Amino acid sequence: MKKITRLLFLSVAILFTGFAMAQSTVTGTVMDGEMNSPLPAANIVEKGTTNGVSSDFDGNFTITTEMTSGELVISYVGYGKVTVSFDGNTNLGAITLTGDNTLEEIVIIGSGVIDLAEDRKTPIAVSTIRASEIQEKAGNFDLPVLLKSTPSVQTVQAGGFGDGQMFLRGFDQTNTAFLLNGQPINGMEDGKMYWSNWQGVTEVANAIQVQRGLGASKLAISSVGGTVNIVTKTIDRRAGGFVQQMVGNDNYLKSTAYFSTGVGEKGWSFSGLLGHWQGDGYVDYTQGQGQTYFLSVGYQPNEKHSLNFLLTGAPQWHAAAGSGSIRSFVENERGRRYNSWNFEGIDSPNTLHGGNSVYPGGRNIYHKPVANLSWDWNINDKSSLSTVLYGSMGRGSFAQSITDRNTGELLYARGSNNNHNWYGLVTNYNNQLTENLNFNIGADMRFYNGIHFRDIREFISIDSVSNSSGYSGGETYFLTEAGGINPWEVFFDPNTDHLQRFGYDYEEQINYQGIFGQLEYAKNNFSAFFQGALSNQSHVRTEFLNTSTPGQGEDSEKVNNIGFNLKAGGSYQIGDMHKVFVNAGYYSRQPFHDTLFQNNRGGNELLQPEVENEEITGFEAGYQFNGGRAISANLNVYHTTWDNRTLVNNNGENGDDFISFQTLGVKQVHYGVELEVMTRPLDNLRLNGFLSLGEWQFKDNANQRTFDNDGNQIGSDEEIVIDGFDVGGAAQVTAGVNGSFEFCKNTSIDGAWNWYNDLFSTGSLEEAPVSMPSYDTVDLGFSYKLLVGEGTNSIQFRLNVNNVFDEVYLESVNGNLQASSNPADNYKGVNMDNTGRFGYGRTWNTSIRFNF
């Protein structure tokens, strides 16, 4: 018995001794490669286990490993992972993390409804802009400018603050889907984007991902050209913030402050941002100013649940740049800065004119706060549920100067109001069915109320306006109240009195219900996916002006349209460095609300025959080369057919007549090749380049109808010949080179060259577009970081100079007038009687930022 006891005792002793020997103590310090400072709260995990710790405030860590040798994985939000080996008790010394271009380490709440390319193993054509680049290069431009150095993207500045436009593979913003943390933000009525409403988004964006073509989104969204995902800050792992002051050309000033508490011991986190901007604008008389606010409240009660409430808005006003002939710019001494849309010598006692003697022809005034509540629930190791509940309330107006037609006297500013209430829910359930098979299913619900009317924004030389149509059975009534021109005032005190409206007064109810799902299979080097979505969109239009009872609305017939999409693809990994993929998809897309009714200025009659769904078919294939940090490349080919389009072209007001054209059965075909190369020949040198070759044309012919002011068709349908016409608006061939060089510690320069070729005008489809001259621009930047005190405190200096060589170029042309036989009537081969817009000349901005 004693021998057995001794044997058991010896066995237990040996077992515990072996267990103790199978452990090691590993220490080290995690450093921020950009700041050359300690990185607190970094994650250190023993590879292949759940054993992990976090670095302390000084970046130090100590971890007791389960094995005597192995590997540690060190990671941090926004930085590339580093894997280091250990053998026994080891001091690893300093371990440096550097920023990367992936999204895997960003804290994303509502991640299950934010369709990012990295969440799916089957690739797509994609480019990602990280927070550091957004911070440096945003400057005093709209968000689309950040994307111009990516393949098949062109941005147009358009004159005033917030009026920028973006084209993706030749498709404008109405046909590119924009998502903010998984929330659709294109206009529900027409798909348009107004960047003036999103002036502050670049301040709080963690990343912007451009998905060209079919993309990774599972929603049945209006994505023909592609999808742009904007991912904002939600939860920061560590406390800190920044204060920044920026100045720029034409008296531009921007002040911003941000602070985050980090995640507290009880799981709460708070972050907020406040900002103010103002400037005179590059184009004459396009002054603007606005504010930015952002609030995020996060709560993580345990490892299974994460909640985040976000509120952001950007109240602003900015004057508009009027359109004009190319001749008017060329012959005016102000050149491309010329703005024909203003009234000189006006001495208004009010403030719409900006305090000078020039009254603007038009000014945009808007405030659109957006709120969403996100909830991530990790149900178990294999399944999760992600939900985002959101809402926005837009209040604002385009205030346009109205003059006496006989005397030219400026009378008042008329407001064209476009208000809305928009609520929605996106939810997605994900389940890892097997080791190789992943399934998710979700729902997308949207409820939209659009409110449109005209009123008085400001009285100038008169104190009332009479109206004798619409309300009160034809009796004359007077508008005596002015709605104001301050975006805060407009939001909290909107005009709700129907008898203080004129011109048009109607509302829209657009409701959308959709379901979507995806099945993805991945094993070894092969992956494949299938996606599907089905949706119903209903429309009701309520008329208030042309009714029998003043102020009492009359509803139109309710319209329901069913839409769907199907997408599938596959990829194969060849060794460690090569991957090929193919994707295909088909969309049956519901028509926009604005194409369903005869016109939006009176009457609830639907177009007959009713507008049918658009049909989009897309194919793409790609090759990815991953040569590690030194070089990587993406090669994509695509073919998109957009069929059965309906176009509505409103020529505007001509006296008392309002003429509109409806073109049915329009077909476009876009195909091309995209090459993107990313290199890092030296540790301190990054050099990237891209080339996009596209061919975008209209195919077959179409039918056109003309309507008068009352929505009655004039004449019969007419066939228009458009087969073979080039699609205008954006360059079909683009190329660029960009890079950065750190020539000494924390000091770097960067630059970008972009070239645009094969540009064509927009305009009537009845004639061929005008070929425009190619152009190129060069941008430069300089950055310097100064470490201050201990920890991660720093002061950062930044200088951006855009269009360094002051290139003069036509950015956009609207019109079909071919070159004149008289060379004096042409500008670089373009007839100067066409309407056009020149791009900005040399601009600059510089900032100082204190990070703490």
pLDDT, tens digit (0-9, with 9 covering 90-100), for 535-567: 999 999 998 887 777 678 888 889 999 999 999
Contact present, 504 and 454 (Cβ < 8 Å) = yes
**Cα(727)–Cα(775) distance, integer angstroms:** 18
**Residue of 406 and 418 predicted with greater confidence:** 418
Between β-strands 657-682 and 559-574, what pairing exists: parallel, antiparallel or unpaired?
Answer: unpaired
Query: Tell me, what amino acid is at 253?
Result: L
**Residue of 145 and 35 predicted with greater confidence:** 145
Residue 457 pLDDT exceeds 90: yes
Query: Tell me, what amino acid is at 43?
Result: N
Residue 569's DSSP bridge partners are: 529, 583
**Cα(843)–Cα(581) distance, integer angstroms:** 41
> What's the CATH number of domain 240-322+338-851, 3.30.450.20, 2.60.40.10, 2.40.170.20, 3.40.50.300?
2.40.170.20
Contact present, 210 and 231 (Cβ < 8 Å) = no
Do the domains at 2-97 and 240-322+338-851 have one common CATH topology? no
Domain ranges of the chain: 2-97, 240-322+338-851
pLDDT at 615: 94
| 8 DSSP 8-state letter | H
**Cα(824)–Cα(57) distance, integer angstroms:** 70
Contact present, 763 and 769 (Cβ < 8 Å) = yes
DSSP per residue, 194-223: -GGGGTTHHHHEEEEEEEETT-S--S----
Contact present, 649 and 659 (Cβ < 8 Å) = no
Contacts of 724 (CB under 8 A, 6+ apart): 697, 698, 699
Look up tokens 């002006």; give the residue.
545
pLDDT, tens digit (0-9, with 9 covering 90-100), for 25-67: 899 998 866 545 577 667 888 887 768 887 876 788 899 988 8
The third-level CATH classification (topology) of the domain covering 2-97 is Immunoglobulin-like (2.60.40)
Ranges of beta strands (E only) in 1-124 are: 24-32, 37-38, 43-46, 52-54, 60-65, 69-75, 82-87, 90-97
Residues across the chain: 852
Tokens standing for residue 478: 């007077």
Contact present, 169 and 225 (Cβ < 8 Å) = yes
Look up tokens 């609030």; give the residue.
295
H/E stretch holding 295 reads strand 288-299
Ranges of beta strands (E only) in 213-287 are: 226-232, 240-248, 252-260, 268-279
Tokens standing for residue 479: 């508008």
Task: Summarize the confidence of residues 143-163 as an average pLDDT.
Answer: 87
Residue 654 pLDDT exceeds 50: no
Residue 612's DSSP bridge partners are: none
**Cα(766)–Cα(764) distance, integer angstroms:** 5
Cis, bond preceding 609 (omega within 30 deg of 0): yes
**Cα(528)–Cα(522) distance, integer angstroms:** 7
CA distances from 538 to 418, 512, 651, 758 (A): 20, 7, 28, 40
pLDDT at 223: 76
As to burial, measured by CB atoms within 10 angstroms (0-12 exposed, 13-18 middle, 19+ buried), residue 403 is middle
**Residue of 177 and 604 predicted with greater confidence:** 177
Range with the poorest average pLDDT among 554-568, 696-710, 752-766: 696-710
Give the Cβ contact number of residue 356 at 10 Å.
13
pLDDT, tens digit (0-9, with 9 covering 90-100), for 367-393: 999 999 999 999 998 999 999 999 999
Task: Summarize the confidence of residues 628-650 as an average pLDDT.
Answer: 87
pTM of the full structure: 0.84
Share of the chain above pLDDT 70, in %: 87
Query: Tell me, what amino acid is at 838?
Result: F
**Cα(230)–Cα(180) distance, integer angstroms:** 5
| 499 DSSP 8-state letter | G
> Using alpha carbons only, how large is the chain's radius of gyration in Å?
29
**Cα(48)–Cα(698) distance, integer angstroms:** 55
The contacts found for 753-757 with CB under 8 angstroms, 24 or more apart, are 753/777, 753/778, 754/148, 754/149, 754/779, 756/154, 756/731, 757/731, 757/732, 757/733
**Count of CA atoms in the C-beta half-sphere (13 A) of 661:** 15
Contact present, 132 and 208 (Cβ < 8 Å) = no
pLDDT at 364: 92
pLDDT at 12: 42
Task: Summarize the confidence of residues 284-292 as an average pLDDT.
Answer: 92
CA distances from 82 to 79, 97, 131, 153 (A): 9, 7, 20, 33
Q: Which residue, 848, 845, 781, 851, is CA-closest to 245?
A: 848
- Secondary structure (H, E, C), 521-540: EEECCEEEEEEEEEEEEEEE
| Mean of per-residue pLDDT scores for the chain | 85
